[in-house]
């Protein structure tokens, strides 16, 4: 392995949005790995604590685990073979240029990822709009917290995952945690919940399953999947009926209260119990805990957000915060637990179809003019908004759709909803170009594969769930022939006639990002690498200040006013409506999906880590004992789940910790155990978030279901020999 190790490098975990601080220690040449992970107790977010994924993160740097050489395919259906960088880049550039010339610029698409550094996200968006001049760019962060982002903007005028530091959680009086299994997805953050309880605070967990997080709760509410909106409205009804509205706060700092009040009063407790299955006594207890404390927070995650009514659902939970005066005050507020490592920064600087750097709207003439000036182009040459992530994927290979796709840091073959349909669309492309660190299930379908450097091999900034901009540092040189994504974008842009404007140096890219973001909502202009290193991260917005009085950054938002034109937070006028697909006679059960402790997202990296695979070797179907008895199923027996879109199989895991009308399946695995073969691609009308968290399924013993699977459901990569051995 080509490496130049240094003794210690302070950096951050490559996985979730906590972006835990860690230290990498270089190992002698000839060691199995180039570095080892060491705790870094001085970083304030995790204070040295790391989960198993963080501790084992260096394993993906092992030789033979990751991509180190460009690959190309000489003919559709033929094998991938090794190639030189010049051949691979020439092929990629020719496909991008040729498709645009033949079919129009929007026949070229770009799909990014929420794990890309801010510099890469920024230049990927610029590459799409300047080098390719296509409107068709979006990213997998659309599948993460886009519903919460839209609800944030609707209510507060600004979207940041947490409007306060995570440490504030330990000092609040009550947390309502909605649709988050924090103990499995962000274990180091659990310490703040425990500290809050030790300080006398209480935890209410809302989840259809009794997870490890729910085991920590003072109160667990288990609504039916897709009914979180009704639950929030029912709690607000009780707040009003029992006299817990903070009338002074509502009058002085909000608007839209009367419509929200009327909607809540139509969701009386008995009606909400009938919809959600949560007893009235549980509703009353939740309101008692939340309103009795002097402060409180509501934190949501993918559970309420990944629904076809996710924006309205999050809006209803924000309403509860506003009505009780639990927003815009110290130690209180609504926050979203962003999932992906750079889910926050990735959407702020240009990967989303409708946004330009600085969280600017691509449809705003002033925003276009500012960014165009930084980029040295005519604002009229910038494309308008494109379509959302799922709509982009669903257009691949179709008449009038995207014919050539550049994909960077994402694995939609496993992670997208209705994944069988998405896979068939990807296979229909004229050309697929993938930049990745491993040969993922999606990369295995590519015509050109460009090996990317990994987190420990490159420098760049990330923005964690708090809005804290932090710095990852390279500890070793890229392995083999791997190159950084910035280097790859620079080389592709040069071949497309843009020799300048796409720097391979991350600090140079960040300097340009700062200028492009200046004056926007996500203003990074007062942040630089030296300051991040000196301050353990800087909270945005942080505009450029005077040399002798730099802006301090903004750890806590909304304490004086909200970011709306009139400074008032806006209530959402929302009412309960059913999920996009409800159980019926043919598909009588709810399916909900999620993560497990030892795997991450599509599993492309964690499934290549022996320690994590020993802990979580494969998918499973979680079901209640009463359902298991009705099906005649025993623990470990193979089950088949069938929806209107596809079929998946996995062994049974029987537990009383789930509702009898609901089954759960983790989504980290491909092939026959691919949970997203089942999930619904119904989209939220505002955020365009797919409905991952609820769909209707039939569950049977696997030997009984061959007759029942929808046609074509077995044509999935990973189900057989379609993938190279390294991806199975």
pLDDT (tens digit per residue) in 612-671: 999 999 999 999 999 999 999 999 999 999 999 999 999 999 999 999 999 999 999 999
Tell me whether residue 458 is in a domain: yes
Tell me whether residue 561 is in a domain: no
Tell me whether residue 311 is in a domain: yes
- DSSP β-bridge partners for residue 255: 570
Indicate if the pLDDT at residue 704 is higher than 70. no
Core vs surface per residue 273-299: b (16+ CB within 10 A) or e = bebbbbeeebbebbbbbbbebebbbbb
Contact between 688 and 385 (Cβ < 8 Å) = no
Q: Is the dihedral of CA 246, 251, 256, 259 positive or negative?
A: positive
Reported as a single tens digit per residue, the pLDDT across 33-70 is 999 999 999 999 999 999 999 999 999 999 888 999 99
Closest CA to 577 of 296, 309, 347: 309
Closest CA to 290 of 206, 411, 391: 206
Whole-number pLDDT of residue 713: 37
| 52 and 85, same domain (yes or no) | no
pLDDT band at 337 (very low <50, low <70, confident <90, very high): very high
Tell me whether residue 560 is in a domain: no
Structural domain ending residue among the three candidates 336, 364, 397: 336
Contact between 221 and 278 (Cβ < 8 Å) = yes
Average pLDDT (262-270) is 98
Strand 21-26 and strand 8-12: pairing? antiparallel
| 210 and 244, same domain (yes or no) | yes
Reported as a single tens digit per residue, the pLDDT across 432-467 is 999 999 999 999 999 999 999 999 999 999 999 999
| 414 and 289, same domain (yes or no) | no
Whole-number pLDDT of residue 728: 21
541 prior amide bond cis, ω within 30: yes
Whole-number pLDDT of residue 32: 86
Reported as a single tens digit per residue, the pLDDT across 338-351 is 889 898 988 899 99
pLDDT band at 403 (very low <50, low <70, confident <90, very high): very high
Whole-number pLDDT of residue 712: 37
What mean pLDDT value characterizes the chain? Answer: 94
Tell me whether residue 406 is in a domain: yes
Q: How far apart are CA 558 and CA 570, in angstroms?
A: 13
| 109 and 241, same domain (yes or no) | no
Tell me whether residue 172 is in a domain: yes
Core vs surface per residue 651-690: b (16+ CB within 10 A) or e = bbbbeebbbebbbbbbbbbbbbbbbbbbbbbbbbebbbbb
Indicate if the pLDDT at residue 715 is higher than 70. no
| 261 and 272, same domain (yes or no) | yes
Express as a percent the part of the chain with pLDDT over 70. 96
pLDDT band at 318 (very low <50, low <70, confident <90, very high): very high
pLDDT band at 708 (very low <50, low <70, confident <90, very high): very low
Whole-number pLDDT of residue 400: 95
Q: How far apart are CA 8 and CA 605, in angstroms?
A: 24
| 307 and 349, same domain (yes or no) | no
Closest CA to 128 of 106, 146, 143, 113: 106
Strand 35-39 and strand 21-26: pairing? antiparallel
Whole-number pLDDT of residue 3: 46
Domain count, the chain: 4
Tell me the three state secondary structure of residue 239. helix
pLDDT band at 6 (very low <50, low <70, confident <90, very high): low
Tell me whether residue 550 is in a domain: no
What range does the domain containing 602 cover? 589-727
| 475 and 606, same domain (yes or no) | no
Rg (CA), the chain: 24
| 174 and 84, same domain (yes or no) | no
| 402 and 355, same domain (yes or no) | yes
Average pLDDT (285-308) is 96
pLDDT band at 710 (very low <50, low <70, confident <90, very high): very low
Whole-number pLDDT of residue 64: 87
| 258 and 390, same domain (yes or no) | no
Indicate if the pLDDT at residue 311 is higher than 70. yes
Neighbours of 722 (CB within 10 A): 15
Tell me whether residue 411 is in a domain: yes
Q: How far apart are CA 637 and CA 674, in angstroms?
A: 17
| 103 and 242, same domain (yes or no) | no
Reported as a single tens digit per residue, the pLDDT across 271-287 is 999 999 999 999 999 99
């Amino acid at each position: 392995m080509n490496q130049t190790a240094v003794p210690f490098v302070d950096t951050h975990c490559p996985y979730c949005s906590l972006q835990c601080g860690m230290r990498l220690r270089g190992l002698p040449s000839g060691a199995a790995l180039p570095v080892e992970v060491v705790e870094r107790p001085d970083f304030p977010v995790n204070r040295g604590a790391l989960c198993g994924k963080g501790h084992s993160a260096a394993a993906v740097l092992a030789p033979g685990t990751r991509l180190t050489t460009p690959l190309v395919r000489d003919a559709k259906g033929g094998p991938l073979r090794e190639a030189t960088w010049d051949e691979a880049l020439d092929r990629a550039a020719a496909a991008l240029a040729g498709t645009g010339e033949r079919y129009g610029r929007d026949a070229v698409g770009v799909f990014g990822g929420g794990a890309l550094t801010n510099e890469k996200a920024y230049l990927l968006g610029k590459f799409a709009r300047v080098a390719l001049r296509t409107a068709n760019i979006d990213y997998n962060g659309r599948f993460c917290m886009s519903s919460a982002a839209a609800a944030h903007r609707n209510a507060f005028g600004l979207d940041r995952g947490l409007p306060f530091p995570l440490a504030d959680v330990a000092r609040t009086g009550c947390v309502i945690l909605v649709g988050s299994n924090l103990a499995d997805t962000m274990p180091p953050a659990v310490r703040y919940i425990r500290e809050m309880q030790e300080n006398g605070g209480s935890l209410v967990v809302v989840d259809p399953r009794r997870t490890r997080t729910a085991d920590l709760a003072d109160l667990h509410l288990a609504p039916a999947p897709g009914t979180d909106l009704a639950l929030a409205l029912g709690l607000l009804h009780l707040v009003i009926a029992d006299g817990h509205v903070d009338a002074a706060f509502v009058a002085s700092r909000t608007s839209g209260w009367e419509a929200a009040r009327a909607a809540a009063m139509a969701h009386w407790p008995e009606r909400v119990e009938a919809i959600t299955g949560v007893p009235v006594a549980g509703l009353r207890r939740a309101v008692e805990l939340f309103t009795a404390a002097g402060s409180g927070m509501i934190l949501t995650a993918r559970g309420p957000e990944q629904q076809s009514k996710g924006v309205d659902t999050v809006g209803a939970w924000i309403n509860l915060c506003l009505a009780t005066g639990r927003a815009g005050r110290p130690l209180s507020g609504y926050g979203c637990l962003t999932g992906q490592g750079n889910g926050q920064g990735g959407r702020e600087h240009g990967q989303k179809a409708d946004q330009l750097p600085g969280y600017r709207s691509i449809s705003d003439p002033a925003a276009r003019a500012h960014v165009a000036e930084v980029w040295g182009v005519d604002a009229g040459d910038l494309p308008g908004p494109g379509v959302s992530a799922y709509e982009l994927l669903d257009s691949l290979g179709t008449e009038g759709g995207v014919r050539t796709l550049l994909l960077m840091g994402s694995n939609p073959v496993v992670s997208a909803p209705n994944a069988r349909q998405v896979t068939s669309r990807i296979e229909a492309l004229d050309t697929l170009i993938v930049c990745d660190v491993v040969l993922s299930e999606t990369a295995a379908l590519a015509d050109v594969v460009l090996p990317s450097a990994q987190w420990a091999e490159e420098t760049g900034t990330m923005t964690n769930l708090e809005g804290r901009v932090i710095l990852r540092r390279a500890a070793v040189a890229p392995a083999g022939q791997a190159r950084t994504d910035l280097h790859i974008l620079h080389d592709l842009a040069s071949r497309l006639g843009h020799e300048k404007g796409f720097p391979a140096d991350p600090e140079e890219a960040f300097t340009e990002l700062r200028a492009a973001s200046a004056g926007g909502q996500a203003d990074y202009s007062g942040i630089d690498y030296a300051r991040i290193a000196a301050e353990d991260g800087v909270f945005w917005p942080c505009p450029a200040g005077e040399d002798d009085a730099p802006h301090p950054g903004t750890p806590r938002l909304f304490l004086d006013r909200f970011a709306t034109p009139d400074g008032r937070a806006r209530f959402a006028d929302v009412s309960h409506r059913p999920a996009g697909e409800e159980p019926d006679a043919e598909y009588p059960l709810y399916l909900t999906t999620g993560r497990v402790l030892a795997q991450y997202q599509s599993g492309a990296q964690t499934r290549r880590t022996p320690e994590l695979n020993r802990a979580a070797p494969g998918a499973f179907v979680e079901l209640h004992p009463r359902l298991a008895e009705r099906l005649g199923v025993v623990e470990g027996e193979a089950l088949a789940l069938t929806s209107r879109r596809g079929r998946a199989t996995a062994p049974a895991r029987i537990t009383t910790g789930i509702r009898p009308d609901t089954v759960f399946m983790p989504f980290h695995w491909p092939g026959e155990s691919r949970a997203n073969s089942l999930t619904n691609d119904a989209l939220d009308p505002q955020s365009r978030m797919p409905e991952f968290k609820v769909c209707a399924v039939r569950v049977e013993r696997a030997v009984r279901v061959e007759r029942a699977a929808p046609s074509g459901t077995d044509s999935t990569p990973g189900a057989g020999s379609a993938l190279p051995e390294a991806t199975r």
